[in-house]
Structure 1
Amino acid sequence: MINNLTKAAAIIILSALLTACSINTEAKTANQVKQEESNIQNISQNVAEKIEDKPDNSSIIPNEAGKIMILMYHDIGQREGEWVRTPENFRKDLQTLYDKGYRLISVKDYINGNINVPKGTTPVIITFDDGTLGQFNMIKTNEGYTVDPNCAVGILEDFNKKHPDFGQKATFYVYYPVPFRQKDLIDLKFKHLTNDGMDIGNHTFSHENLRNLSKEDIQKALGKNVLETKKYLPDYEVDSLALPYGIKPKLENLKQYVVRGEYSDIKYENKAVLLVGSNPAYPIYSTKTKTDAIPRIRASEMNTSGTGLYDWLEYFDKHPKERYISDGDVNTISIPIDKEKEINKDKLNSKEVILIK
């Protein structure tokens, strides 16, 4: 239905056209005038339809207590596999997310509650584990180096040029000694990513399985990663961890060192610890969120468990009220009134909560 604003716009356009075309009508036949009036009516109707077709988010009810998908990718390569997405399929993923009203934020945005996406859209987070060449490859040219258009970073940057409202944020969980597999380009790549607004996270120093490590070895695995990253980015805060294999230490009293610890005078703190999960997360300020065990969704179509990206997209298509819907204001948190008890007020960072009846 065309709203009042649309009707007004159509009337204004119609009036202007009628005025312009009524000059010297005396010199025209009645049939000519009738035909022109018919043309004007068609033009007015087309304008009104175009205005109506433009998405109107004014009636969408925000739900900023809803679920957020944190997607887990590994490699981007030429052959699709359980842990590999082809460039074509990765582009398809981005286009599908965009068309369904999802917009990119980073893990740092999530941690800080800085979910700044347009009204009526849903935040989504893309993460990459392992720091592979397929994620970020650079090609040497006569002028220096350029980003491979078929690696993940190149695809994200190109998609953002075509759809700037989608964003190009992502978080890369790397390990050492050679993240992204081009030894001489680590510094260049790290600076490129952070200048792009993308994140670098902790994936231990050498992809250690934390299950049976001692207190000292856990802190070494995590602290040494931060120490190495700071060699390239001295002022950068590494504040999240993707657990290798999704595995925590076996002993309960050692799990605290996954969150914070110290190695060689370097203190680390992981404000978010990501699992190899299979379901969406809740916002950082939700009472349902455990920051040391945040689930992710595997972005693979070869996942037969029914818990992959496209399974959840279908789920949210059928249950739209369960997904996070932005109110368009980064300084407020708008939630249905029955969700008030799900908000941890200690994690609101001075944001105003708006209850929707």
Structure 2
Amino acid sequence: MMNRSEWAQKAAAAALLVLLAACGGGDGKGEGDGEQANDSATAAAAPGDTGAASGAQPGQTANNLPAGPTTQLPPNELGRIMVLEYHRTGSPEGEFVRTLENFRKDIRTLYEAGYRPVTMRQVLEGNIDIPRGTTPVVFTMDDATRGQFYLTANGEVDPNTMMGSWMSFKRENPGWGPGGMVWCILPAASHPSNFFGETKDRDTPREQREANIRKKMEMIVRDGHEVCNHTLYHARLDRAANDQQAQDWIGIGEDSIKAYLPQDYDIVTFALPLGMWPRNKPLAWAGTYRNGKRYENKVVLEVSGGPSVTPWDTRWDPHSVDRFIVGPGQLERQLQRWEQDPTNRYVSDGDPRTISYPATMAQYLNRSALGGRTPREVAGAPAAAAPAAGGAQPAAPAAGGTTGR
């Protein structure tokens, strides 16, 4: 398996090996449309891009990053993890719109409260290597919209995008760590979700459009983020005419994204458009398309449901991972819930070789999923904050979600 620096060395060379992608043939259909887009590209399936857990000492990470702000809570690696869900930037805010100012505020608030970004691939593999006293958080970016990732005329990342804001914060706060965003891409949707399109496809010469896409994908891989499939152009899987069409929307979508990735990059995460499953539900996990080609999604992201359990929990199901839409006030309320009752918050022990948990969580430990890690029961489980006199009880630890993208 390759590490991140090796990915950086391979990214440029990989561009010579890619095929043309689906969005190169003109505008695809918009989100939720029922017709298949015109063009799609193919690419070979490839092995994964993971790194093995290392021998970091407690309180350190394998990459020796500064710890930054942490919590004093005792370790609980059977606690829950927020998988955050973002879509567009803009104003006014709504369920699927976050102002850039508040996105930046989200990052800073989480960092200062002891949270650190990880990808879904890292969660799936149990490779959660963050400092002692910190909590993993996954940022998923749905739909590949313009405001998420835009290049200026000189080819630099626009600082007034989600990616630009992330890069700026990381430069100022190296303890935030590398990578951490999961980009769930629509390769053949219409503007503004046309593969991070900066203009409508017809308004940008194809060669320039493809060069921009390729550069962005190389940056995502180089900087340790994760690429996720969100289907070809966001058609609802429950409205597919038949099983084969549902499989084509998933499989051809993956191919069209892989056309811009190193040949040995394995896409393991899939986000359900609008949270809708195909009528034959297992087709979201694996299927065939294009004369017998196969896809396999090891992680399937739901749209809502609140914080998720960890891969060492008996309740963990990677084929149905809850997410948390960052709508107005939602993140703030969830953080307040965990401040009032931290018993369900994942807190790292700083050692990727061990899984620490309080005795109260022992019933949920899945020993067969530890993969050689050492389970360690710890004392001092956090207690829920007492409610104020005459006040309400603390809210439940898992925030409820709403249906959406």
Aligned match of 2:76: 63
Change (3 A) 1:212 1:99: same
- Residue 176 of structure 2 is matched in structure 1 by 166
CA-CA distance at 1:55 after TM superposition: 7.2
**Contact residue 75 and residue 132 of structure 1 kept, 8 A:** yes
Q: CA deviation at 1:82?
A: 2.9
Distance in 2 between residues matched to 1:266 and 1:153, nearest whole Å: 33
Give the aligned partner of residue 312 of structure 1.
334
**Partner of residue 106 from structure 1, selected from 109, 119, 122:** 119
Change (3 A) 1:191 1:355: same
Query: Which residue in 2 is equivalent to 1:149?
Result: 159
Provide the secondary structure at the position in 2 that maps to 1:207. Answer: coil
Judged with a 3 Å threshold, the aligned counterparts in structure 2 of structure 1 residues 291 and 325 are, in CA distance, closer, same or farther, namely same
Which protein is richer in helix relative to its size?
Answer: 1
Q: Secondary structure at the match of 1:232?
A: coil
- 1:229 is aligned, of 250, 254, 257, to 257
- Equivalent positions of 1:179-328 (< 5 A) are 179-182=195-198, 183-184=209-210, 185-213=212-240, 214-233=242-261, 234-250=263-279, 254-264=280-290, 265-301=292-328, 308-328=330-350
Give 1:204 deviation, angstroms: 0.6
**1:278 and 1:298 in contact (8 A); partners too:** no
Distance 2:304 2:356 in 1: 27
2:273 aligned partner, one-letter code:
P
Tell me the matched-pair count: 292
The structure with higher relative contact order (CA 8 Å, sep 6+) is 2
| Residue 351 of structure 1, aligned match among 358, 361, 373 | 373
Write the distance in 2 (CA, Å) between the matches of 1:99 and 1:161: 15
Unpaired segments ≥5 residues, structure 1: 1-53, 303-307
What corresponds to 2:392 in structure 1? none
The verdict on how the C-alpha distance between 1:56 and 1:127 changes in structure 2, with shifts beyond 3 A counting, is closer
Q: Which amino acid aligns with 1:330?
A: P
Q: Are 2:111 and 1:89 equivalent residues in the alignment?
A: no
1: CA distance, partners of 2:246 / 2:372: 35
Give the one of 327, 330, 347 matched to 2:352: 330
Which digits, 9 at most, give the CA deviation of each residue in 1:204-241, with x for residues without a partner? 11112011322211211111111112211122111111
Query: How far has the Cα of 1:294 moved from its partner?
Result: 1.1
Give deviations 1:115-173, integer Å, cap 9, x for gaps. 111101111111011000111100112xxx00000111111111111111112410010
How far the C-alpha of 1:86 sits from its partner, in A, is 1.5
Aligned-residue Cα RMSD (Å) equals 1.8
**TM-score after normalising by structure 1:** 0.78
Task: Return closer, same or farther for 1:69/1:274 CA change in 2, 3 Å cut-off.
Answer: same
Q: Which has the larger radius of gyration?
A: 1
1:321 to partner: Cα distance = 2.0
Cα drift, residue 78 of structure 1: 5.2
One-letter code aligned to 1:288? R
Q: What is the CA distance between 1:347 and its match in structure 2? A: 2.2
Identity level (%): 35
> For 1:280 and 1:83, how far apart are their aligned partners in 2?
18
Which of 142, 145, 148 aligns to 1:135? It is 148
How far does residue 79 in structure 1 lie from its aligned partner after superposition? 4.4
Q: How far apart, CA to CA, are the structure 2 residues paired with 1:332 and 1:161?
A: 30
Query: C-alpha separation between the residues in 2 aligned to 1:278 and 1:239?
Result: 21
Aligned partners of 1:347, 1:260: CA distance in 2, in Å?
A: 22
